[in-house]
């Protein structure tokens, strides 16, 4: 750890060390990654002299699970994160395309090494190589984590977060140095970032589908939702160059800050135990709920939570600074303006906080007795942030902007045309910087006063500050739309009152209400081809951006209970909008009036059928999603338009492949890859409608009680429980297994047909024993089984409440004594489309990544229209 920290410090002060000594640079990078491999080696060797290995390892674990145990707690994932960050820093150690070699390049590397240093210090504060005391063993690797997907899924997620953080370093270096060529630098990392993130999230869904007892690939757990946020940011960035008009450097910088900020936020959700008490991802911390009703207030309670509190607050500080830098970027729109670099020094605050915790911890180690060392260390860690008032963290939002107002230009200009908030503040032609700063502060206090939610108010500032400081606010209609979405999401989620949401939306639409009416929109017509293509190209950015806001607000409101219905209900309009945009784009060669008529007819037919036949799909279509809507209505609104665009998108893939005249190999054609991604997304959404929207996993009707040797008809199938299988031998993991053997039959018009398969859902038992072999406690894990048919899967989950009782009963009276069992059964038609769509998306993303690498190698773009490229 010492060597890694010293290496990070050396590279921070000498980011271009490679130019002086390749050997020294390579050595420093290896040293930064060394702690992760050192910790992994201790797990592989089951070295019980280390407390971390004692708590989470075990000699009975397969070798790959011992390796996976490295990132099973708080310490290991940080070292894994550093390893990935180090690898990426070395891969992109040379100047990137269009990067200024004297300013932007060294600043980007310095920022990366600075984040590495912060994470290393956080890991050191958690003491991953702490020596074990005594001979007792810990509980070992959590039973839910003893699966092959544990070996793959978390590392991919941290690799995705590392790519997002690297993108933020590009954004900050471009913001404070030279932004020339930022588009190419961003896309060179965004493309592999989307691929890795999609792969990681999909494998997490596969984990839930095959191993866990959720019965689906997506449960909207807060941690799952958190990992989706940076993915949405990456998707938005990948489409920035395809929308009509030139994307400004400021927009690229803001999107880059969002990617890294959301990666930190997702990490916060995962590791801030007790904040998102609704999460099932509670493997490393106690998730007992606390009294404050909002996430930020609960984070403030963690200030006094020892080393874990130092870690969580450090992430929060960085996240608030990212928002603050975005606000600073809005300070001026004058050509050639650069923000004051003094604000970059604010990044030293989280590093100083962790250093203080480490230094005082060392003092404790010397001054405290061994028996009270842990308690004393916790008190010192609490003193680092525990005594810092909440107001200090609030001020971090305004710190970069305050630096800019103090040392930057003294005036802010307002445009003679359009409408500007500055015209209200100005006395002559300009308003003073202090007046504008106070105006933003007062509005912040107003919104915080009516919402009583700090993080929600911070989101408000992100979108309102550009409007407030703009020379002509009416040109920033995208920010206005985002603000309206923020108000609606706050009201929908129940986070804020309807009156508060109305005030927020009014502030965002005020420029257009007060501005002189413009003739600019008079030429827009839904039946005109150019207008349709503008809608289609803008939708890729707006729909994703709006949905990101909705998802983030729903996540912030789901700290005590998961809002399953909210994600599906409020996400439906975005699915419809996305499908409409893809239809207009894929049919751009056809007559515009024909496209408009066909699309309108499909939407009207969907609405009509949703009203007159809401339960026509069967399954759980009659289950209420709100006081007015049932699940079947949502499927009727989305499924027809999704089906409408599938065939045109398939033709788009074939046409793109067929008419491409360049000599570029097919696996490097970016347009082909993009269309494959779109096709895969459509297939996934169709599968999602059948496997998630039409299935209520909280409905007790899916629990089937079976009597031995009797066929029970449930839905379209008959189920026959034929016996139990118990074993404690030849198990790769676990100490015992009980499985239920079930025959599945077709049911035709009420009569039992032929048997179509046999399944065996079960339960693994994990015992915690003493050295003498006495069992202290037993835990269990569902072993989900699926019957795969061409039409989809049927998922069987053994009811966990029966498992231990059945094991005891069979041990005393034999397996023949069990005559009744209870199983949860989900019939998931079209489930194959989910995995086919995900695989198709990955294939397309792989093509895009290879195409992007080819472009970078040749240092110039393939001659394809920018609107077609993505």
188 has pLDDT over 60: yes
Quote the CA–CA distance of 173 and 115 in Å, as a whole number. Answer: 14
- The three-state secondary structure class of 772 is coil
Task: Please list, in sequence order, all residues whose beta carbon lies within 8 angstroms of the beta carbon of residue 190, skipping any fewer than 6 positions away.
Answer: 167, 234, 237, 238, 259
The pLDDT tens digits of the residues spanning 785-824 come to 999 999 999 999 887 676 667 767 776 777 778 888 889 9
Exposure of 127 by Cβ count < 10 A (0-12 exposed, 13-18 middle, 19+ buried)?
middle
175: tokens are 């913001």
Share of the chain above pLDDT 90, in %: 52
Tell me the C-alpha distance between 607 and 596, whole Å. Answer: 17
Strand partners, 794: 787, 827
| pLDDT value of residue 225 | 87
Could you tell me the two tokens for 490? 């706050």
pLDDT at 534 over 70: yes
Other beta carbons within 10 angstroms of residue 586's beta carbon come to 25
Better-predicted residue by pLDDT, 272 or 465: 465
Contacts of residue 643, Cβ cutoff 8 Å, sequence gap at least 6: 686
pLDDT at residue 139, rounded to an integer: 66
Q: How confident is the model at residue 365 (pLDDT cuts 50, 70, 90)?
A: low
Beta bridge partners of 780: 765
Q: What is the pLDDT of residues 111-141, one digit of tens each?
A: 999 999 999 999 999 889 998 876 656 667 8
pLDDT tops 90 at residue 777: no
Q: Is residue 63 exposed (0-12), middle (13-18) or buried (19+ Cβ within 10 Å)?
A: exposed
pLDDT for residue 869 = 40
pLDDT-derived band at 284 (thresholds 50, 70, 90) equals very low
Residue 612 CA, distance from chain mean position: 37
| C-alpha dist (Å) from residue 353 to 243, 341, 347 | 42, 21, 11
Report the distance separating Cα 734 and Cα 264, nearest Å.
35
Among 41-45, 58-62, 191-195, 642-646, which stretch is predicted with the lowest mean pLDDT?
58-62
pLDDT at 561: 79
pLDDT at 728 over 50: yes
Question: Quick one: tokens of 405?
Answer: 């107002």
Q: Residue 168: is it exposed, middle or buried by C-beta count within 10 angstroms (0-12/13-18/19+)?
A: buried
Q: What is the pLDDT of residue 371?
A: 47
Longest dimension (CA), the chain: 93
Distance CA 85, CA 454 (A): 31
> Residues 596-615: what's their mean pLDDT?
94
pLDDT band of residue 285 (cuts 50, 70, 90) is very low
- Reported as a pLDDT band with limits 50, 70 and 90, residue 439 is confident
Give all strands (DSSP E) within 93-211, no chain letters: none
In terms of pLDDT, which residue wins out, 294 or 360? Answer: 294
Q: Helix axis angle, 454-469 relative to 529-557, nearest 10°?
A: 150
Q: CA–CA distance from 520 to each of 415, 479, 481 (Å)?
A: 18, 18, 18
- Which of 357-371, 612-626, 704-718 bottoms out in mean pLDDT, i.e. has the lowest? 357-371
For residue 714, what is the enclosing H or E element?
A: strand 711-714
| pLDDT tens for each residue of 460-508 | 999 999 999 888 888 899 999 999 999 999 999 989 999 999 999 999 9
Taking all residues of the chain, what is their mean pLDDT, rounded to a whole number? 86
Contact 360, 352 (CB under 8 A): no
pLDDT at 519 over 60: no
Is residue 40 scored above 70 in pLDDT? yes
- DSSP conformation letters of 534-549: HHHHHHHHHHHHHHHH
What average pLDDT score do residues 550-562 get?
A: 89
| pLDDT higher than threshold 50 for residue 592 | yes
Distance between CA 715 and CA 711 in Å, rounded? Answer: 13
Which token pair is 515? 């501005």
Q: Please tell me the predicted confidence (pLDDT) of residue 817.
A: 81
Mean pLDDT, residues 80-94:
96
- Which is it for the CA torsion 120, 123, 129, 130, positive or negative? positive
Tokens of 523: 């030429």
- Per-residue pLDDT at 868 exceeds 50: no
Residue 363 has pLDDT above 80, yes or no: no
Assess whether pLDDT exceeds 50 at residue 427: yes
Q: Which of 247-251, 257-261, 715-719 has the highest mean pLDDT?
A: 257-261
Cα–Cα dist 370/774, whole Å: 30
- How far apart (Å, rounded) are the C-alpha atoms in residues 664 and 674? 15
Residue 815's pLDDT is what?
Answer: 74
* Residue closest to 854 by CA, chosen among 867, 868, 864: 864
**What whole-number distance in Å separates Cα of residue 315 and Cα of residue 260?**
11
Q: What is the 3-state secondary structure (H, E, C) of 800-853?
A: HHHHHHHHHHHHHHCHHHCCEEEEEEEEEECHHHHHHHHHHHHHHHHHHHHHHH
Residue 788 φ then ψ, to 5°? -95, 125
For residue range 821-850, list pLDDT tens digits in order. Answer: 889 999 999 999 999 999 999 999 999 999
Token reading at 808: 């005891």
pLDDT over threshold 80, residue 297: yes
Tokens representing 550 are 């909705």
pLDDT at 201 over 70: yes
Which pLDDT value is given to residue 860?
Answer: 44
Rounded Cα distance between 559 and 225, Å, is 12
pLDDT attached to residue 281: 57
Highest mean pLDDT among 9-18, 692-701, 798-807: 9-18
Supply the pTM of this predicted model.
0.92
């Amino acid at each position: 750890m010492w060597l890694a920290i010293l290496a990070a410090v050396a590279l921070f002060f000498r980011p271009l060390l490679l130019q002086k000594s390749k050997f020294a640079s390579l050595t420093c990078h290896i040293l930064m990654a060394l702690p992760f491999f050192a910790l992994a080696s201790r797990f592989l060797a089951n070295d019980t002299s280390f407390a971390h290995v004692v708590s989470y390892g075990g000699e009975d674990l397969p070798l790959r699970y011992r390796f996976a145990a490295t990132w099973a707690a708080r310490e290991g994932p940080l070292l894994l994160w550093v390893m990935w960050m180090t690898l990426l820093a070395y891969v992109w150690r040379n100047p990137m395309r269009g990067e200024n070699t004297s300013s932007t390049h060294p600043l980007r590397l310095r920022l990366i090494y600075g984040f590495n240093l912060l994470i290393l210090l956080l890991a050191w504060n958690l003491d991953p190589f702490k020596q074990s005391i005594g001979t007792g063993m810990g509980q070992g690797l959590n039973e839910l984590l003893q699966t092959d997907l544990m070996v793959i899924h978390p590392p991919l997620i941290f690799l995705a977060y590392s790519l997002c953080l690297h993108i933020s370093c590009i954004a900050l270096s471009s913001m404070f140095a030279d932004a020339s060529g930022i588009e190419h630098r961003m896309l060179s990392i965004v493309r592999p970032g989307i691929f890795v993130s999609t792969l990681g999230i999909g494998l997490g869904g596969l984990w839930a589908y095959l191993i866990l007892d959720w019965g689906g690939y997506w449960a909207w757990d807060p941690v799952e939702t958190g990992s989706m946020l940076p993915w949405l940011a990456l998707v938005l960035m990948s489409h920035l160059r395809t929308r009509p008009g030139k994307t400004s450097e400021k927009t690229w910088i803001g999107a880059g800050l969002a990617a890294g900020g959301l990666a930190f936020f997702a990490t916060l959700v995962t590791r801030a135990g007790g904040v998102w008490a609704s999460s099932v991802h509670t493997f490393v911390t106690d998730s007992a709920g606390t009294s404050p009703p909002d996430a930020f207030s609960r984070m403030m309670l963690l200030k006094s939570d020892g080393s874990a509190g130092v870690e969580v607050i450090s992430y929060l500080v960085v996240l608030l600074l990212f928002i603050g830098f975005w606000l600073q970027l809005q300070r001026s729109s004058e050509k050639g303006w650069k923000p004051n670099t003094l604000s970059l020094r604010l990044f030293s605050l989280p590093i100083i906080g962790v250093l203080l915790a480490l230094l005082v911890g060392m003092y404790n180690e010397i001054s405290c007795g061994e028996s009270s060392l842990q308690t004393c260390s916790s008190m010192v860690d609490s003193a680092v942030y525990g005594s810092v008032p909440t107001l200090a963290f609030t001020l971090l939002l305004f710190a970069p902007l305050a630096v800019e107002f103090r040392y930057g230009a003294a005036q802010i200009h307002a445009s003679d045309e359009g409408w500007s908030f500055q015209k209200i503040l100005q006395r002559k032609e300009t308003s003073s910087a202090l007046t504008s700063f106070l105006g933003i502060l007062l509005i912040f206090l107003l919104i915080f006063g009516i919402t009583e939610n700090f993080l929600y108010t911070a989101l408000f500032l992100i979108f309102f500050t550009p409007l407030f400081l703009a020379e002509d606010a009416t040109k920033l209609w995208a920010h206005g739309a985002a603000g309206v979405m923020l108000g609606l999401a706050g009201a929908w989620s129940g986070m804020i009152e309807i009156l508060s949401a109305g005030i927020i939306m009014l502030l965002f639409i005020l420029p257009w209400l007060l501005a002189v009416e413009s003739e600019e929109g008079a030429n827009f017509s839904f039946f005109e081809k150019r207008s349709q293509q503008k809608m289609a190209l803008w939708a890729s950015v707006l729909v994703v951006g709006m949905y990101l806001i909705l998802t983030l607000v729903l996540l912030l409101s789901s700290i005590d209970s998961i809002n399953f219905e909210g994600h599906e209900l409020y996400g439906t309009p975005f699915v419809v909008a996305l499908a409409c945009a893809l239809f207009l784009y894929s049919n751009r060669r056809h007559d515009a009036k024909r496209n408009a008529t066909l699309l309108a007819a499909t939407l009207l037919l969907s609405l009509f059928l949703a009203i007159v036949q809401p339960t026509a799909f069967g399954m759980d279509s009659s289950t209420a999603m709100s006081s007015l809507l049932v699940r079947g209505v949502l499927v009727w609104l989305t499924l027809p338009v999704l089906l409408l665009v599938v065939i045109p998108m398939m033709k788009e893939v074939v046409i793109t492949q067929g008419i491409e005249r360049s000599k570029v190999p097919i696996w490097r054609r970016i347009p082909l890859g993009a269309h494959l991604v779109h096709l895969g997304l459509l297939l996934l959404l169709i599968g999602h409608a059948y496997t998630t929207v039409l299935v209520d996993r909280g409905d007790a009707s899916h629990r089937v009680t079976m009597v031995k040797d009797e066929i029970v008809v449930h839905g379209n199938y008959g189920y026959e429980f034929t016996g139990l299988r118990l074993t404690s031998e030849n198990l790769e993991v676990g100490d015992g297994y009980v499985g239920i053997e079930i025959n599945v039959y077709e049911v035709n018009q009420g009569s039992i047909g032929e048997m179509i398969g046999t399944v065996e859902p079960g339960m693994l038992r994990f015992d915690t024993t003493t050295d003498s072999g006495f069992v202290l406690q037993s835990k269990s894990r569902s072993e989900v089984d699926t019957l795969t048919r061409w039409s989809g899967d049927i998922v069987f989950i053994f009811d966990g409440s029966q498992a231990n009782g059945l094991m005891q009963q069979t041990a005393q009276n034999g397996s023949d004594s069990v005559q009744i069992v209870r199983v949860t059964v989900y019939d998931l038609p079209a489930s194959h489309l989910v995995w086919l769509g995900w695989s198709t998306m990955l294939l397309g993303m792989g093509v895009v990544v290879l195409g992007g690498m080819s472009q970078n190698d040749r240092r110039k773009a393939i001659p394809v229209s920018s609107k077609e490229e993505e």
